[in-house]
Chain A
Amino acid sequence: MQRSTRETKPQAAAVQGEDITREDRVMKRVFLSPAVIVLLALSIFPLFWSLGISFTDILRGGSTLQREAQSSGVEASGFLGQDFNVTLRNYDRIFDDERLHIAARNTLFFVFVGVTVQYVFGLLLALVLNQEFIGRGIVRVIFLMPMMTMPVVVGYLGRMMFDSYRSPIADLYRHFVAWWEGVPLIGSELDATLPWLTNGSWARGTIVLMDSWQWIPFVTLILLAGMQAIPDDIYEAARVDGASSLQMFWRITLPLLAPLSLTVVLIRGLEIFKIIDVIVVTTGGGPGSATESLTMYIYKTALTFGNYSYAAAISFALLVLVIIFAMVFLGLGRRLVPRGLY
């Protein structure tokens, strides 16, 4: 009997423990469920819904099937008796749509050139702001201001600054031209204006400049925080060993910033994939199709042209592109970042 009592106690504890675990599990689910429901309703459901739409012929004001049925006076009967067809035509069109290919090429340009410019200048600025100098606090705040500006405002500022005729930059350039033409021996005649936004290649570069002006401070902020987290004694030890400033930058600062660099480049890369606002305000996607981005093309396709199904198909193509970018980038990151820091 005693034995039985001894055996019962742990069993009771186990049962009690199981009860607590079950209760815990239930409560966890109760507390998590609102967030999960919101996520399902606002993110996952629309994602699958638009995936479904991308395989149909649904347009604004009815599907193609519906319109054909209307004009021939018969009742539309498509997929499972619905008034739309299930089709692969949207995905097929992705391969033939030249405008889409140009938009994709432009977007990749914005991503790769933009991220490079922003990272390099962001790092340089962070190095400067990491030094002790008078007024450092104020300078830091001033450097952060573009980041707080709305992209549409950045676009309008850009339009004013990069007007080939009437802008501070155009004025400066005119003075430069006048000075350059007067320089003995090497002075030569230059174009009176620069086609910042009127020539395709220049316009792409100008868009990158505007986006970089706004987002370099973000890169600077993250990298500066990283630099300040590096313990001073590492640098002191290096100095004792006779390391130069350049050596310390290459061997200590840059490797220790690698995880943050990876994060900041990934965030900016993904953000630039979605660039639209600055472009809409400055060039409207032109000249020609030189600055049209994928997001802008999707926006036009869905909301101007009312071609919801094709816009959904392109959105998924963009999603695939972004996933590939992120996977390749993270794969490379694993190789480049020192073990233990990744």
Chain B
Amino acid sequence: MKRFIGFLVILTLVVALVPSTMAQDDKPFAGQKIVVVTQVGRSIGGPVEDFAPDWEEMTGGDVELQQFAWGDLFEKTITAFDTGSGDFDMLIFPAAWSGDYMAPGYLDPAPQEILDKIDMDDVIPLYRDRIIAWGDTVYALPYDGDSHMLYYRKDLVDGGEYAEEFEAEYGYPLAEPKTWTEYYDIAEFFNGRETDMGPIFGVMEAMKRNTQAFYVYFSHAAGYGKIPGNPCFFFSCEDMTPQVNNPGWVRALEDYIRSVDLGPPEQVNWDVADTRNYYPAGMSVFNIDWGDVGPISIDENVSLIKGQVGFAPLPGGDQYWDYEAGEWVTPESGVNEAPFIAFGGWIIGVAADSDVKEAAWDFAAFMAAPEMVKELAVTGGTGINPARFSQFEALDLWVDAGFDEESAVDYLDAILTGINHPNAVLDLRITGTAEYQQTLDVEITRAIAGEISAQEALDNAAAAWDEITDRLGRENQLAQYRSSVGYTGE
């Protein structure tokens, strides 16, 4: 009888416990809260807001999104890491900050099963091999593919009613600009001109200090400062001498300053978030930005120029400064094409000091899943640009999203040309990147504001870069820079 009662008790316990165990398996992260941090606004943070409820429903986990202005994001996250406060579990951050996050071990190495989940073979090698890893260890998941490109009003530039007048004035046909010289000729030609939509500005370039605007200047500098066959652009790979004040960079800054008078006066206080509002309103002929403007330009709710936007790789320099030879070189082709892989993309990492790493990696994999990013890339305002073969191959996806076929091909082609180009410039990605960038940012905005000349600004930046390099250890920095650009010394 005792045995029978004992059996009954065990049976009752098993019956009572099984459903709850099953429920636990259904919701593996019930009761676990992940704090996700990224920049403020719909771009990048928006998809987390939109899709976190789906993941919460599936797993029982809870997602709290914390967003900070671009200018504060680095400080907030690095301070949390530095002090070990454990404020954040998952970070969606710029790949350029890897030196500050990955090198000191602030991020958890990505588990292989998570990488397997998101089909890494589908990711373009540039993003898969160089953006998400530090040394041989992968610390993040690819989320967004980033490179700068040129947007132009093809209804005005590609032939059309202005072609004859332009050719008569400048001596060559009006068409998509291949060099910065052509870019400024066209901008000058159109600036202030009355069009069907009213007066138009020549250019629109983000220039606000303490934002992502300095990347636009880097894009100008790439054409004049990148030496074909030499991957070292920001510094010399011999001794870490800053190249930022060489004549190529100075000429690029003079160009960037020229843009002030060829665009809306307010652009000196605009970040890309602002230009993305104004360019689709038809205010200017040109715009330089990441791939985000493509999907925004076809969204009829915000764009007045749907179907009128041309997509092209960044213009190049008609000359470039060879800092090793100390002279200007004119390329045989007439153009030094040097697309800038600005930023390298937003990537997703998990904090090494997180208490809910498993849940955080699961949510990271959910957000970086191929189907998810495919959808996000074609949706305007998400901040997500294509970084996977599947996104480039699925033309239907782009046409279904509202692109006409020709525009979709142009758009994807412009991005692919940039990221596959042998002379592409990789963004700075070493310890102290944020400080190098912000120091330069201050100096270029001073030059834009007319406080100092382009040469003075860049000399100041070079001196500051040298000071930072010495402070952080020149040998260490040199080793990191060489590794980040794949310099082998051969």
Chain B, Cβ-Cβ closest to A279: B210
Chain B residues lying within 8 Å of A304, measured Cβ to Cβ, are 74-75, 434-435, 438
How many angstroms from the CA of A300 to the CA of B74 in the assembled complex?
Answer: 10
Chain B residue numbers with a CB within 8 Å of A299 are 75
Within 8 A of A (CB), among B452-472: 460, 468, 470-472
Cross-chain contact A288 with B446 (CB below 8 angstroms) = yes
Q: Kindly supply a per-residue 1/0 record for chain A positions 254-292, scoring 1 wherever the CB is within 8 Å of any chain B CB and 0 otherwise.
A: 000000000000000000000000001001111111101
Give chain A residues whose Cβ lies under 8 Å from the Cβ of B72: 280
Within 8 Å by CB of A165, from B210, B266, B468, B475, lies B266
Q: Which residue of A lies closest to B452 (CB)?
A: A288
Interface range on chain A (Cβ under 8 Å from partner): 35 or more
Shortest CB–CB separation between residue A203 and chain B, in angstroms? Answer: 9
- In the assembled complex, the CB of A100 is this many whole angstroms from the nearest CB of chain B, namely 12
State the CA gap A290–B268 with chains docked (Å). Answer: 13
A43 to B470, CA, bound (A): 33
Most chain A beta-carbon neighbours within 10 Å: one of B74, B104, B442, B475? B442
Residues of chain B lying within 8 A (CB to CB) of residue A99:
442
Q: Which residues of B contact A83 (CB under 8 A)?
A: none
In the complex, chain B residues 58-100 whose Cβ is within 8 Å of any chain A Cβ: 69, 71-72, 74-75, 78-79, 82
**CB of B473 closer than 8 Å to a CB of A:** yes
A4 interface contact, C-beta 8 A = no
Contact A289 B451 (CB under 8 A): yes
Q: Is the CB of B71 within 8 A of A280?
A: yes
Residues of B within 8 A of A98 (CB): 460
A193 to B211 CA separation, bound complex (whole angstroms): 24
Docked Cα-Cα span, A165 to B104, in Å, equals 46
Query: In the complex, A197→B209 CA distance in Å?
Result: 12
In contact, A286 and B266 (Cβ under 8 angstroms): no
What residues on A are CB-neighbors of B472 within 8 Å?
A: 59, 64, 67
CB contact between A306 and one of B211, B435, B475 (< 8 Å): that residue: B435
> Are A288 and B431 CB-contacts (below 8 A) given A61-B104, A64-B473, A195-B265?
no
> Which residue of B78, B269, B442, B475 is within 8 Å of A283 (Cβ)?
B269
The CB with the most chain A CB atoms within 10 A, among B450, B468, B470, B473, is that of B473
Contact of B344 with A by CB under 8 A: no
Query: Quick check: B449 and A284 within 8 Å, CB to CB?
Result: no
Closest beta carbon of chain A to B444's beta carbon, Å:
9
Q: Which residues of the partner chain A approach B104 to less than 8 Å between Cβ atoms?
A: 61
- The distance from the CB of B170 to the nearest CB of chain A, in whole angstroms, is 28
What separation, in Å, do the CA atoms of A300 and B441 have in the docked complex? Answer: 13
Is B266 in contact with A164, judged by CB distance below 8 angstroms? yes
Cα(A195)–Cα(B266), bound, Å: 8
Among A11-19, A68-76, A210-218, A233-241, which stretch is in contact with chain B? A68-76
Closest 6 CB pairs of A and B: A288-B449, A284-B210, A286-B209, A67-B473, A71-B475, A288-B446
Query: Can you sample 16 A-B contacts with CB below 8 Å?
Result: A67-B476, A72-B475, A99-B442, A164-B266, A165-B266, A195-B265, A198-B266, A285-B209, A285-B210, A285-B442, A286-B269, A288-B449, A303-B78, A304-B75, A304-B438, A305-B434
Given contacts A288-B450, A303-B79, 9 further A-B contacts (CB under 8 A): A64-B472, A164-B266, A197-B269, A198-B269, A280-B72, A288-B209, A290-B449, A305-B434, A305-B468
Residues in A lying within 8 Å of B, measured CB to CB: 57, 59-61, 64, 67-68, 70-72, 98-99, 163-165, 193, 195, 197-200, 280, 283-290, 292, 299-300, 303-307
